[in-house]
Amino acid sequence: MKKNEVYDLEIIDNGSSFEGIAKQDSMVVFVPGAIIGEKVTVKIIKVNKDYAIGKIEKIIVKSPYRQNPICEVYNRCGGCSAQHICYNTQLLLKYKLVENVLKKQKIDIDSFKKPSTIGMGMPYYYRNKAQYPVRSLNGETIMGFYAKRSHEIVQNDCCFIQNRVIDIMAKAVFEVIQKYNLIGYDENTLDGDIRHILIRRGLHTGEVMIVIIVNKNELLKDNRFLLIVNELVKNNKNIKSIYLNLNDKNTNEILGQKEIKIYGEDYICDYIGEYKYCISPKSFFQVNTIQAEILYETLKESLKLNGNEVLFDLYSGVGSIGIYLSDKVKNIYGIEIENQAVKMANINLKLNNVKNAEYIAGDVEEKIVEFKSRNIIPDVIVVDPPRKGLDKKSIEYILNFNAKKIGYVSCNPATLARDLKVLSQKYDIESIVPVDLFPNTEHVEVVSVLGRKDEKKPKNQ
């Protein structure tokens, strides 16, 4: 197989990024945009030792589950990967993705009994947070989203997975910064004024936070931003908070360490279920508020709590999971590495009158030892780690604590399956439930509950 060769291929599966998978001459060929069951004419654009990548030239046999993407820049933008697949099929593919990674780790999937992924009734306009890169290109300042696998900016008038208010607000901010001659960032020269515009919005409260990420320290004291604030807030009374954030490093990270509030409140608020949460610029908060409630309720039901448990909430963010479970346990102890998130967690405790929880800042693998030294032993451990999953030391401590149950919320099925394989030396997997927090993308959240093996009662009891 060589680059630029053309083949007619049958798509036999879809991969972890929803790309089509075919085989030709014993070589695996990945075909972005193809759907299982289709026959396509493909031009090979890249050949490696073990696989090739092809581009669809023509669809010979179309899948009945193919649909026309509603976004006009869908084929260029990197934000979505599944708008061309009808939503029910997306849910089935995500279920299959989870099933495949479990099988790869040789995990017993008897606990994986749901018929499909739990989806949304309206799988559009769901994101409560968006960050828009602002760039200088050929003397013009532009804003949009990154193209697939690049830093090329794709301009777009309407993103169908963002909350519409966020989209409209971002454009209002962009227009006013241009009015005051602030220019976009240039990744080649590292020059320019504005790197990103970040917008957060409470779905249930309507409260809006704006964060403008600047490239130079002196811009934090630039009086033009006072004029920008005046123009923005006079037109939208839902804007509760505006920040400037400084990121003057040559990095792909969006937010820098230094930030100042230039208008309004320290944070905005929103609800998940009956619980109210405060959110700061850097706080982790699930981007899909509606599905977050489904996610947390699934976890609560699956844990089967009796009200007497001591619960560890690890990678706790602003305390959203622990607070949601607080009415079903005796005590909660949470650990989160981001100081500002812990500050928000403790504010959230007071806001919801939760008096049976304590949150501290630090690395999970370090602070978990602190709890052990205080002779605080958990009955239940809940983890919601980043995409890389749990590190070996954290798993070791979790196993040593010997909790009766573990609740594992994951945004990466592959690392979840890897960690479940290790945890299953002491625990049985009681349930695994995929929940779609990211419709029209390849991402899926998974709730898994494990029970300690020696806690299981004999069948004849």
Q: Does residue 434 sit in the same domain as residue 353?
A: yes
Are residue 57 and residue 191 in the same domain, yes or no? no
Query: Is residue 71 a part of any domain in this protein?
Result: no
The span from the CA of 201 to the CA of 210, in Å, is: 9
Which residue do the tokens 């989870």 mark?
98
What pLDDT, in 10s, does the model give residues 178-191?
Answer: 999 999 999 999 99
DSSP letters for 248-296? -SSSS-S--SEEEEEEE-S-EEEEETTEEEEE-TT----SBHHHHHHHH
Q: Is 80 a catalytic residue?
A: no
**Residues 439 and 334 both lie in one domain:** yes
Structural domains of the chain, count: 3
Query: Do 358 and 429 fall within a single domain?
Result: yes
The length of the chain in residues reads 461
Q: Looking at the structure, tell me whether residues 400 and 309 fall in a common domain.
A: yes
Q: At 355, which CATH number?
A: 3.40.50.150
- Averaged over successive runs of 10 residues, the pLDDT of the chain (461 residues) comes to 94 93 94 96 94 96 96 89 95 94 87 81 96 94 90 90 95 97 95 98 97 97 96 93 97 94 96 94 91 97 96 90 96 89 92 94 82 89 93 88 95 96 94 96 96 71 44
Asked whether residue 306 is assigned to any structural domain, the reply reads yes
Q: State the pTM of this model.
A: 0.91
Separation between Cα atoms, residue 314 and residue 417, nearest integer Å:
18
Same domain, 256 and 312: no
User: Is the same domain home to 107 and 237?
Assistant: no
CA dihedral defined by 306, 308, 314, 315, rounded to 10 degrees?
60
Instruction: Answer whether residue 358 is part of any domain.
Output: yes
Residue 51 lies in a domain: yes
CB under 8 A, 24+ apart: contacts of 349-354: 349/319, 349/323, 351/269, 351/276, 351/277, 351/278, 352/275, 352/276, 352/323, 352/326, 354/323, 354/326
138 and 267 share one domain: yes
Single residue among 34, 50, 66 that ends a domain in this structure:
66
How many other C-beta atoms can be found within 10 angstroms of the C-beta atom of residue 355? 9
Q: Are residues 236 and 321 in the same domain?
A: no
Return the ∠ at Cα 445 (arms to 381 and 335), rounded to 5°.
35
Q: Can you tell me the distance from the alpha carbon of 396 to that of 393, in angstroms, rounded to the nearest whole number?
A: 5
Where does a domain end: 272, 300, 329?
Answer: 272
Q: Are 215 and 166 in a shared domain? A: yes
The whole-angstrom distance between residue 352's C-alpha and the CA centroid of its chain comes to 25
In a domain, 85, yes or no: no
- Give the end of a domain, one of 240, 272, 304: 272
Q: What is the pLDDT of residue 114?
A: 67
Q: What is the pLDDT of residue 421?
A: 95
**Shared domain check, 192 and 328:** no
Q: What is the CATH number of the domain that holds 171?
A: 2.40.50.1070
250, part of any domain: yes
* Secondary structure letter of residue 82 according to DSSP: -
Residue 241 has what DSSP assignment?
E
- Of 396, 409, 242, 228, nearest to 316 by C-alpha is 409
Q: Are residues 334 and 449 in the same domain?
A: yes
Instruction: Report yes or no: 281 and 263 within 8 Å, Cβ to Cβ.
Output: no
Question: Does the residue 389 lie in any domain?
Answer: yes
Q: What is the pLDDT of residue 461?
A: 44
Q: What pLDDT does 219 receive?
A: 97
Flag whether 84 is in a domain: no
Beta-carbon neighbour count of residue 124 at 10 Å? 18
Domain containing 28 — which CATH number?
A: 2.40.50.140
Measure the CA–CA gap between 317 and 390, rounded to whole angstroms: 15
| Domain range for 373 | 90-121+288-455
CA distances from 77 to 20, 32, 81, 154, 185 (A): 18, 13, 9, 6, 20
